[in-house]
């Protein structure tokens, strides 16, 4: 659906994106992650034909975005960051205007506007001025507008920014349900959202792709070490040297709470020492209340890949 080849964009003196190449297949929901200023918005603006690239090629649904821009745009629904809308128009009027601009007319227009109104729950605000709507409603008007012409591809730039947790959940559900018919490329800072909704994640930093894989694989490949949590009563024993002597343990932190000792045991990557720790506890006759391994999250991956050199 999207093919990007060696895309580069330079602003006066700054390279915003640098030799970017990636593909997005039909029906995928791809999360586009990266710190602020990494080049996410620039990439999305180029894909939506708003900005020209300095060099490289890109195509949407088989249409080159520079040579066949109008056709490429007809297959695309784009929701920019901050959702710009005409504040002097009414919701229904705006959707009809945008629908007809994107090539719908007559009965088809009526059906599609009705459908996106239903999907985004805009029935009640049809005749309200967009300028008077709350942030959440504006966001939904923007989403409705992006998909009014049934585009094959939706590009959403931070669709959940500025929404409250309930609204975020609603938008997330909406995006998930859209994924069945549309290909979606979305950028966001909410990593938990990406873990739930996206089938693939592309992480970019300083204009380059750092990683591109499913969220599960990314977490699995995380190079940082894991942590095992142990909550025990050890009687006379001091658990720190005992645990520290186990092969594969890097570091042990401990604090006491209500007579229980809470240990955070940092272990080497891709190992699991829970069995060994349990055996040690049995051997030393410790009472174990909790023994868990902290699961690495996408957040850890993100931090690892995009942290400035430390």
Partner 1 sequence: MRRFFILLRRELASFYYSPIAYAVLFFFLILNGLSFWFAVALLSRGPSEMTVVQAFFNSFFFWIAYLLVFPVITMRLFAEEFKLGTIETLMTAPVRDWEVVGSKFVAALIFYLSLWLPSLLYFLIFGWLGNREAVGFGAQLWAPYLLLLLMGMFNISLGCLGSALTSNQIIAAMITLMLTISLFFLTLINYVINSPSPLVKGISAYVAQLDHMDSFSKGILDSRPLVFYPSATAFVLALTYYIFQYRRWKT
**Which residues would be at the binding site for partner 1 (CB under 8 A)?**
45, 48-52, 70-71, 73-74, 76, 78, 80, 82, 84-89, 97-98, 100-103, 145
Q: Closest distance between partner 1 and the C-beta of residue 273, in Å? A: 52
Q: Closest distance between partner 1 and the C-beta of residue 203, in Å? A: 25
Residue with Cβ nearer partner 1 (183 or 234): 183
- Sheet order of strands, 287-294 included: 249-257, 260-267, 226-233, 287-294
Residue with Cβ nearer partner 1 (104 or 190): 104
Q: Closest distance between partner 1 and the C-beta of residue 43, in Å? A: 14
Query: By CB neighbour count within 10 A (0-12 exposed, 13-18 middle, 19+ buried), where does 258 fall?
Result: exposed
Q: Closest distance between partner 1 and the C-beta of residue 201, in Å? A: 24
Q: Closest distance between partner 1 and the C-beta of residue 52, in Å? A: 6
Reported as half-sphere exposure (CB side, CA atoms, 13 A), residue 249 has a value of 22
Residue with Cβ nearer partner 1 (42 or 205): 42
Q: Closest distance between partner 1 and the C-beta of residue 120, in Å? A: 16
Euclidean distance between CA atoms 42 and 211, whole angstroms:
18
Q: From residue 41, how far is each of 9, 36, 82, 258 by CA, in Å?
A: 12, 9, 11, 50
Residue with Cβ nearer partner 1 (48 or 183): 48
Residue with Cβ nearer partner 1 (134 or 214): 134
Q: Closest distance between partner 1 and the C-beta of residue 37, in Å? A: 15
Residue with Cβ nearer partner 1 (156 or 263): 156
Residue with Cβ nearer partner 1 (49 or 59): 49
């Amino acid at each position: 659906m999207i093919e990007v080849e060696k895309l580069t964009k330079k602003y006066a003196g700054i390279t915003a994106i640098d030799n970017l190449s990636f593909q997005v297949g039909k029906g995928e929901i791809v999360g586009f992650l990266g710190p602020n200023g990494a080049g996410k918005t620039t990439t999305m603006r180029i894909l939506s034909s708003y900005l020209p690239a300095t060099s490289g090629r890109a195509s949407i649904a088989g249409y080159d975005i520079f040579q066949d821009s109008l056709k490429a745009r007809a297959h695309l629904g784009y929701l920019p960051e901050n959702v710009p809308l005409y504040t002097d128009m009414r919701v229904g009027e705006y959707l009809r205007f945008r629908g007809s601009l994107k090539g719908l007319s007559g009965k088809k227009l009526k059906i599609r506007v009705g459908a996106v109104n239903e999907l985004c729950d805009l029935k009640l605000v049809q005749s309200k001025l967009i300028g008077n709507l709350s942030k959440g409603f504006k966001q939904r008007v923007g989403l409705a507008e992006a998909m009014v012409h049934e585009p094959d591809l939706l590009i959403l730039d931070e669709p959940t920014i500025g929404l409250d947790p309930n609204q975020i959940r609603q938008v997330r559900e909406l995006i998930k349900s859209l994924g069945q018919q549309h290909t979606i490329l979305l950028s966001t800072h909410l990593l938990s959202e990406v873990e739930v909704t996206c089938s693939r994640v592309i992480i970019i930093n300083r204009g380059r792709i750092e990683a591109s894989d499913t969220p599960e694989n990314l977490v699995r490949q995380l190079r940082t070490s894991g942590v095992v949590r142990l909550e025990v009563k050890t009687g006379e024993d001091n658990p720190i040297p005992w645990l520290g002597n186990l092969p594969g343990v890097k570091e042990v932190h401990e604090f006491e709470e209500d007579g229980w000792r809470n240990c955070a045991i940092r272990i080497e990557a891709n190992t699991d020492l829970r069995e060994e720790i349990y055996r040690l506890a049995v051997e030393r006759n410790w009472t174990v209340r909790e023994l868990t391994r902290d699961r690495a999250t996408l957040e850890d991956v993100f931090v690892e890949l995009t942290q400035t050199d430390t």
